[in-house]
Amino acid sequence: MTITSPHLGSSEAWTDARLLFALEEVVEKELNRHLKVAKDWMPHEYVPFSDGRNFPGFFEDGQAWESEQSKVTDIGKIALVVNLLTEDNLPSYHHEIASLFGRDGAWGTWVHRWTAEEGRHGIVMRDYLLTSRAVDPDKLEQFRMAHMAEGFESDNRHSMLHSVAYVAFQELATRVSHRNTGHQSGDPVCDRMLARIATDENLHMVFYRNLLGAAFEMAPDLTMQSVRDVVVNFRMPGHGMPGFERAAAQMAIGEIYNMRIHHDDVLQPVLRFLKVLEIDGLGPDGLKAQEELGLYMGGLDSEASKFDAKLAARKERMAARAAL
């Protein structure tokens, strides 16, 4: 690589085009590593098709959906719908990253490979939900249409570095959400399926996390600013779906994804692995961003502790009511 000095990394020196070129070798290395460790899997092998029945419509023997037909817990159903609708927006995500990273060379190969792997997740989740009758199929399709018709624009589409920083955290957030949904679903089949999806998401996180680490070596100040911006303004990609705020609140109470999980299991692991708050030799802008990031993480931890206390009190009240 011809661009290695971090002090070439002033705001004026680095453009998206130069960073894309400078990181190409890292992308190729990480792509080759990913292809060696990633395992192909068949979505249909994780779906209990023998449990399936026809729905009303064109089939005379169709059986209407009823909530009692599934063993999945209520919180599991809510989280499954949120997770699937998030996966459904894959065409928009592909457009976003292909526009930023390009369709040629190692970047393009990664973009298409990532899209193909992510496509499995929507396939297997929808097949599972319909076969197991975990959710109302009509409402699920209505939600999908409404969500996708709104389109998707990333908060970080203005900057390649912001986008790399975002997906490093977001892929881990998705893994955690899938894994916790499986644990809370009440169905071992669902748990196994989501564990398989979570394995993919973790490998995607590792790819982007390592790429982010390389960006810190090349352009530490700009990368630090990007990480600060992403962490402080982080939103999950499904935030625009119908009923997202209510569903997110229920998932927080159900301990699938909340502030404590976001702080401890998503933000901290990436920041700690890359030693982001320990990086020295930063310029004024990078140092300011690092300090602001540290302050934000401290504040988020305090807010998460308040949430923990409220959640514990809620559990105590519910236990007391159940004992009456």
Q: How many CB atoms lie within 10 A of CB 2?
A: 5
Full DSSP string of 22-53: HTHHHHHHHHHHHHHH-----GGGGS-GGG--
Torsion of the alpha carbons at 92, 197, 47 and 255, rounded to the nearest 10: -100
Q: Is 178 annotated as a binding residue?
A: no
158 annotated binding-site participant: no
Is 292 annotated as a binding-site member? Answer: no
Residue type, 286: G
User: What is the rounded CA–CA span in Å between residue 243 and residue 320?
Assistant: 30
Q: What is the Cα–Cα distance from 168 to 270, expressed in whole angstroms?
A: 8
Q: Do the annotations mark residue 303 as ligand-binding?
A: no
- Which helix (DSSP H) or strand (DSSP E) does residue 288 occupy? helix 284-323
CA atoms within 13 A on the CB side of 91: 7
Q: Tell me which long-range contacts 54-57 makes (C-beta under 8 A, separation of at least 24).
A: 55/137
Known binder of ligand: residue 255?
no
Distance CA 288, CA 286 (A): 5
User: Per residue in 66-90, is it b (16+ CB within 10 Å) or e — as a string?
Assistant: eeeebebbebbbbbbbbbbbbbbbb
Contacts of 78 (CB under 8 A, 6+ apart): 247, 250, 251, 254
Output phi, psi for 54, to 5 deg: -70, 145
Residue 316 labelled as part of a binding site: no
Q: Which residues are annotated as a binding site?
A: 87, 118, 121, 171, 201, 204
Q: Which residues are annotated as a binding site for Fe cation?
A: 87, 118, 121, 171, 201, 204
